[in-house]
């Protein structure tokens, strides 16, 4: 069977797995942003703590993804088989680029601008929300874009611990030694990644221009 | 609520009493500075790089706090002011203007009035008034971004922003330092006229003797964190201190250079 015939015949399952995939990525990114943005903001003025946290996030990044999924299975509360374990692992992966870009983005805002903001009598909160964050939005969004694209890729491996997603086709195809089955997962995953990259790239440029 | 204008029965707008500022490492940037600034005068802080001029300014608006001694602003010690309230009553202009690049000129100038929650139409009117005051027609400039301005225009906006909430005190940190010589002279002339008209208390930092002599009602010379002396412009070049001679010599060199051309 041709790969596109297979894709067409199984379009319902492909669509369902794609939705699952987007769900995994969306949930992981939401958690990662909810932790990474405030943590990054808090770490800007704490260089020592910053080194430790970035170091830890770096270490997580070096663990092979399949191994990380495996490590998490026996962990109580967050572990086990299924989507929630996968989401924890994916969030950890996405954390580093978000954290790093939030910190560098804010730190790279022209010090003269921040100083005049303080000197004119803005409170720290006003400086953060009206000056530092708007001016670092482009850099932060670049981090979000990288994190999203990486997460879309790594999420295919989450199928190995029963989290579903497009990886299901890939693992099945590998087991069956069938290229059409592999492609039914790999192709939509690649398309998702390209689409996310373009869309977030557009958003990034719009925010950076402001 | 107390504002800066309330304390103006005092003769001195600003008074340093044996103020010292040390870095956490212990290195002093300003040592035992005692200096008064009368209401409505333009005091120029002159000195080389690293002489403590900028530190002195930041002690006034409490971006820094003295490690020893005190600074009185309209009769009240700087550390007893609420820093936010204090800074909103002190205009601040720095070398690169420090305009917010993501805001229009209009919004930049309206910054402090908006922080002080003036009614919107009053802010609008004030912004137009300020832009006209610094020689920028509001119709042409209000909607521009800082990136669409020349260096001189940026500094004009910086001055307009500092004056917007009508603060009694103005701090200027080498505001014309990065401009080409011709633009700089234009702005110095206009600024001197403006200062005489507005009767603000101004502390002006520079390392340019000419600028100091032209703008200052008095010149305070700093050297490595110590105050060498305070001089009227007419006395300055006659003073005998070596640091004065060093600065006077820079003036001679300029003159000789121009004469040779």
pLDDT per residue over B17-66, tens digit each? 999 999 999 999 999 999 999 999 999 999 999 999 999 999 999 999 99
In a domain, B244, yes or no: yes
Interface A-B: count of C-beta contacts within 8 A = 59
In a domain, B163, yes or no: no
What is the residue whose two structure tokens read 């137009």?
A: B128
Q: Taking CB atoms and an 8 Å cutoff, what residues of chain B touch A113?
A: 98-101
In a domain, B215, yes or no: yes
In a domain, B232, yes or no: yes
Question: Does A112 reach chain B within 8 Å, measured CB to CB?
Answer: yes
Residues A58 and A187: their CA atoms lie apart, in Å, by 29
Task: Say which CATH number the domain at B225 has.
Answer: 3.40.50.300
* Predicted local distance difference test score (pLDDT) of residue A207: 82
Report the SS3 class of residue A122.
Answer: coil
In a domain, B131, yes or no: no
Taking 90 as the threshold, does the pLDDT of residue B248 lie above it?
A: no
Structure tokens at A104: 């560098």
Q: Which of the residue ranges A36-45, A104-113, A191-200, B238-247 would you say has the lowest mean pLDDT?
A: B238-247
Average the pLDDT over B98-122 and give the result.
95
Asked if B174 contacts B95 with a C-beta cutoff of 8 angstroms, the reply is yes
**Closest CB to A210 among B99, B102, B112:** B102
In a domain, B17, yes or no: yes
Helix A47-62 vs helix A11-43: angle between axes, to the nearest 10 degrees? Answer: 160
**Closest CB to A119 among B61, B100, B101:** B61
Residues A73 and A91: their CA atoms lie apart, in Å, by 15
Give the pLDDT band of residue B254 (cuts 50, 70, 90): low
H-run or E-run covering B44: strand B42-47
Question: Does B81 reach chain A within 8 Å, measured CB to CB?
Answer: no
In a domain, B123, yes or no: no
Q: Which of the residue ranges A11-20, A55-64, A145-154, B165-174 would you say has the lowest mean pLDDT?
A: A55-64
**Closest CB to A121 among B97, B115, B171:** B115
Structure tokens at A109: 């805002």
Distances (CA, A) of A15 to A150, A180, A190, A198, B133: 21, 16, 14, 21, 64
Domain count, chain B: 1
For B136, list phi and psi in degrees, rounded to 5: -115, 110
Asked whether the beta carbons of residue A118 and residue B102 sit closer than 8 angstroms, the reply is: no
What is the residue whose two structure tokens read 């003769």?
A: B11
Helix A11-43 vs helix A167-176: angle between axes, to the nearest 10 degrees? Answer: 120
* Predicted local distance difference test score (pLDDT) of residue B6: 56
Q: Kindly report the CA angle at B120 between B190 and A119, in degrees rounded to 5?
A: 55
Q: Are strands B226-231 and B201-206 parallel, antiparallel or unpaired?
A: unpaired
Residues B50 and B29: their CA atoms lie apart, in Å, by 8
Span B225-234, pLDDT tens digits: 999 999 999 9
DSSP-assigned letters across all residues of A16-81? HHHHHHHHHHHHHHHHHHHHHHHHHHHHTT-HHHHHHHHHHHHHHHHS-HHHHHHHHTTSTTT-SS
Give the pLDDT band of residue B258 (cuts 50, 70, 90): very low
Give the pLDDT band of residue B1 (cuts 50, 70, 90): very low
Domains of chain A are: 9-209 (1.10.3720.10)
Q: Taking CB atoms and an 8 Å cutoff, what residues of chain B touch A136?
A: none
In a domain, B104, yes or no: no
ipTM of the complex: 0.85
* Predicted local distance difference test score (pLDDT) of residue B253: 61
Taking 60 as the threshold, does the pLDDT of residue B100 lie above it?
A: yes
Domain that holds residue B3: 1-81+169-176+202-261
Taking 90 as the threshold, does the pLDDT of residue A79 lie above it?
A: no
Residues A14 and A138: their CA atoms lie apart, in Å, by 34
């Amino acid at each position: 069977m041709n790969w596109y015939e297979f894709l067409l015949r199984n379009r319902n399952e492909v669509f369902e797995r794609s939705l699952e995939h987007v769900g995994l990525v969306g949930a992981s990114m939401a958690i990662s942003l909810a932790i990474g943005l405030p943590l990054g903001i808090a770490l800007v003025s704490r260089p020592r703590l910053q080194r430790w946290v970035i170091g830890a996030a770096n270490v997580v990044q070096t663990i092979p993804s399949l191994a990380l999924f495996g490590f998490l299975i026996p962990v109580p509360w967050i572990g086990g088989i299924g989507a929630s374990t996968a989401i924890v692992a994916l969030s950890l992966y996405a954390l580093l680029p978000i954290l790093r870009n939030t910190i560098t983005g804010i730190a790279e805002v022209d010090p003269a601008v921040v100083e005049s903001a303080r000197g004119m009598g803005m409170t720290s909160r006003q400086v953060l929300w009206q000056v530092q964050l708007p001016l670092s939005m482009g850099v932060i969004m670049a981090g979000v874009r990288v994190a999203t694209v990486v997460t879309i890729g790594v999420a295919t491996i989450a199928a190995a611990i029963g989290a579903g997603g497009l990886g299901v086709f890939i693992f099945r195809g590998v087991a069956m030694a069938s290229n059409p089955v592999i492609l039914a997962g790999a192709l939509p995953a690649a398309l998702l990644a390209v689409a996310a990259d373009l869309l977030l790239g557009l958003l990034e440029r719009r925010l950076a221009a402001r | 609520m107390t504002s800066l204008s309330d304390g103006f029965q005092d003769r001195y707008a600003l008074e340093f009493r044996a103020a010292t500022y040390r870095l956490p490492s212990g290195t002093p940037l300003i040592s035992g500075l005692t200096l008064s600034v009368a209401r409505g005068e333009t005091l120029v802080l002159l000195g080389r790089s690293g002489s403590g001029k900028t530190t002195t300014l930041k002690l006034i608006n409490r971006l820094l706090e003295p490690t020893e001694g005190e600074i009185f602003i309209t009769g009240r010690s700087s550390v007893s002011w609420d820093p936010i309230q204090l800074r909103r009553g002190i205009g601040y202009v720095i070398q690169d203007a420090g305009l917010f690049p993501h805001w229009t000129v209009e919004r930049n100038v309206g910054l402090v009035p908006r922080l002080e929650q003036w009614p919107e139409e009053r802010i609008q009117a004030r912004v137009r008034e300020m832009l006209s005051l610094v020689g920028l027609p509001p119709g042409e400039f209000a909607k521009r971004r800082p990136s669409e301005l020349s260096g001189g225009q940026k500094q004009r906006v910086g001055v307009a922003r500092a004056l917007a909430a009508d603060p009694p005190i103005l701090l200027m940190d080498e505001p014309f330092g990065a401009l080409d010589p011709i633009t700089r002279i234009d702005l110095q002339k206009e600024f001197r006229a403006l200062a005489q008209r507005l009767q603000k208390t101004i502390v002006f930092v520079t390392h340019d003797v000419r600028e100091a002599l032209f703008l200052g009602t008095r010149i305070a010379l700093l050297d490595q964190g110590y105050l060498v002396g305070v001089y009227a412009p007419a006395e300055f070049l006659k003073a005998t201190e070596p640091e004065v001679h060093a600065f006077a010599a820079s003036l001679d060199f300029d003159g000789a250079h121009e004469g040779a051309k």
